[in-house]
Amino acid sequence: MPDTAWHIIEVVVMLLLPLLMAGGLTVVERRLLGQLQDRYGPNRVGVMGEMQVLADAVKLLGKEDWIPPFADRPVFVAAPAIILMSVLASFAVIPLTSGFAVADLNVGLLFFLAMSSLGVYSVALAGWSSRSKYPLLGGLRAAAQLLGYEVFMGMSLLGVVMMAGSFDLSTIVEGQRGLWYVGPQFVGFVVFFIAGLAETRRTPFDLPEAESELVAGYHAEYSAMKFGIFYVGEYLGITLVSALMTVLFFGGWLGPILPGWTWFLLKTSILILVVIVVRAALPRVRYDQLMSFGWKVMLPLTLINLLVTAAVILAT
Amino acid sequence: MSAVDPVYALGLAGVLFVLGLLGVLVRRNIIFVLASIEIMVNAAGLAFLAAGARWGQADGQVMFVFILAMAAAEVAVGLALALRIRRRFNTLDVDDLRKLKD
Amino acid sequence: MTVLFYIAGAVAVIATGMVITRRKAIHALLYLVVSFLALALVFYVLGAPFVAALEVIVYAGAIMVLFLFALMLIDAGRAEEARERDWMRPRAWIVPSVLSAALLAEVVYLLARGGVPGRTAAGAAAAGGAAGVGGAAGEAAAQVKAVGIALFGPYLLGVELASILLLAGLVAAHHLTVDLDSEDGETAGAADSGAPGRTRQKGGRP
């Protein structure tokens, strides 16, 4: 049955591709940060340092996997699994090219929002189950940050949904044949970019895991591969957010000459690089600044964007 | 409409509601009582949805959205009260919270 | 599709059973989240994809996180387990179980007798089978739109009232916990951890 085989290929590709990209990102980011900070990144292992991924993986696998005796064992082990599951599941609805998505849900965008809501648990539970001061504080802060910015993330996408008329990601990409949504929905794009950074706990919003402030925050007590999962999970999150921005604002697979998936990967990669540059450029935001910025600036912005979009759609 | 007979969904709602009721009756910890109430509210929402699916109208889903909003407000206030109770009386036992005045 | 419903329903029932019988509150919470996720799947099978997503986003993703927050702040520690074991003697379960079983028996009897008005049990099976094949995609898209139109049309007053209700809940929760820390010096932070400017909390460096 070619249909089933095709499905299996889709699943395998959408599983391997993000994982490979996230794995490669661990090195790419460090080298790019190095360039921006006038130093070399890792360049010893392999020709240009790319085998560092393998070296890191082997190191993490070989470390002692120690669970603190005072920790709540089942929850402690489950927390990294939750984030990995939710991020990988979100990749199921992203269309690589026309007709190539693991699950072309008609509420695809809502599914992504649902999965990101579940990701909040991972952070909060990781902090709590460690039963230790710093992780608990980090976990609570992270959960509050994630919850708040999740609201704006959802609302910033409503403009796109209104313009496309559907929650289906393939339909949204198709609707951008004339003009990419980043033009009319620029405010929405900016808000989604910022909210996406906050949701994946990237600088400038990485206070929950700040090395200099909270001793690595909510994943302080995690070692070896569980930490590896959090680590790669963060890069997976960046890949996911970039892929979503490509689909929602930059026309997904649309583009002349080259095949669809090439455009998709190209756009996603550029956005990932932008995210990394943002990390190099901006300082960390203080927690109360972060929350007040979110609720006092972003929320009104998204609401106004919603109103204006609705008014324009009604008028035309 | 739906791929499954809404009557079975109603049955599921009934079972879940009864389980939540059991939780409210048996547990003494106020947090568990609140969680059991949530189970009951959710089961009621499922019943609304099943009814909407049976008649093929969107009204069931609309009702569920309202139930969602109500549950959110109720949980917020309920948990605030639970926190207050914990700090004031240093207990979470519903059986100990018998009097309005100290 | 029907198989999915039965599996999801079974998961929901089992998870709910685990919720009411756990000793540690966090474990019960997590089982409750699992139950909600299973129910979201049930909603999807019932032809309500929008509500299924809402259930996960709002209920499992926000309300339960609120529960988690509150639990973290009411941190009971080791004493909790011993207390719960003490409270949950098997004897306490007898009468409530009997009463609940009686209720459940009534409900099941009513439904099995073809209790949904306008159709018999046989007619129900036929209608369910026919609708199942056509079911999902096109219907669901129309449903999402229909919900939106209904919310902005006949149910507009309900939406406004719901927003007022949420505002009331917000104000009440804030007011109830605004001076929580002046009671005693327990764990950090007031319940409304999202409020900026509450610098009285968190005894150390923020």
Q: Over the stretch A54-68, which tens digit does the pLDDT of each residue have?
A: 888 888 888 887 888
Which residues is A100 bridged to in the sheet?
Answer: A97
CB pairs below 8 Å between A and C: how many?
Answer: 93
Task: Give the chain C residue nearest A73 (alpha carbons).
Answer: C27
Domain ranges of chain A: 66-315
Q: Spell out which residues of chain C touch residue A168, defining contact as CB-CB under 8 Å.
A: 141
Which residue of A74, A117, A148 is in closest CB contact with C194? A148
pLDDT of residue C197: 37
Two tokens at B85?
């109770």
Residue B13 lies in a domain: no
The reply to whether B49 touches chain C by the CB within 8 Å rule is yes
Q: How confident is the model at residue A212 (pLDDT cuts 50, 70, 90)?
A: low
**ipTM (interface predicted TM):** 0.90
Q: Tell me what percent of chain C is helix, strand and coil, each rounded to the nearest 5.
A: 75, 0, 25
Is C140 within 8 Å of C49 (Cβ atoms)? yes
pLDDT digits (tens, 9 = 90+) for C72-95: 877 666 666 667 666 667 788 888
The reply to whether A171 touches chain C by the CB within 8 Å rule is no
Is A127 within 8 Å of A136 (Cβ atoms)? yes
Q: How confident is the model at residue B102 (pLDDT cuts 50, 70, 90)?
A: low
Domain ranges of chain C: 1-118, 135-179
Q: Tell me what percent of chain B is helix, strand and coil, each rounded to the nearest 5.
A: 80, 0, 20
Two tokens at A16?
């391997």
More confident residue, A192 or C203: A192
When mean pLDDT is compared across A113-117, A137-141, A263-267, C146-150, the lowest value belongs to: A137-141
Which of the listed ranges A151-165, A198-212, C122-136, C157-171 does the model predict with the highest average pLDDT?
C157-171
* Residue A175 CB-density burial (10 A; 0-12 exposed, 13-18 middle, 19+ buried): middle
Residue A80 has pLDDT above 80, yes or no: yes
The reply to whether A151 touches chain C by the CB within 8 Å rule is no
pLDDT digits (tens, 9 = 90+) for A3-25: 888 889 889 989 999 999 998 88
Unique residue bearing structure tokens 């003490």: C86
Is A122 within 8 Å of A87 (Cβ atoms)? no
CATH number at residue B80: 1.10.287.3510
Distances (CA, A) of A316 to A163, A178, A255, A310: 12, 16, 27, 10
Q: Spell out which residues of chain C touch residue B66, defining contact as CB-CB under 8 Å.
A: 155, 158, 162
In a mutagenesis test of the B interface, which of C1, C7, C20, C32 is the best target, namely the one with the most B β-carbons within 10 Å? C20
Nearest to C181 by CA among C201, C164, C160: C201
Residue B21 lies in a domain: no
pTM of the model: 0.86
pLDDT digits (tens, 9 = 90+) for B11-31: 999 999 999 999 999 888 888
Is A102 within 8 Å of A40 (Cβ atoms)? no
pLDDT of residue C85: 66
Mean pLDDT computed over C122-137: 40
Residue B70 has pLDDT above 90, yes or no: yes
Q: Would you tell me which residues 125-164 of chain C have a C-beta closer than 8 angstroms to some C-beta of chain B?
A: 125, 127-128, 131-132, 135-136, 139, 143, 146-147, 149-151, 155, 158, 162-163
Domain that holds residue B56: 28-90
The reply to whether A148 touches chain C by the CB within 8 Å rule is yes
Give one DSSP letter per residue of C130-192, joined into a string. HHHHH-HHHHHHHHHHHHHHHHHTTTHHHHHHHHHHHHHHHHHHHHHHTTGGGT---SSS-S-
State the total domains in chain B. Answer: 1
Q: Right CATH number for C1-118 from 1.10.540.10, 3.30.420.40, 3.30.70.100, 1.20.120.1200?
A: 1.20.120.1200
Unique residue bearing structure tokens 């009756």: B25
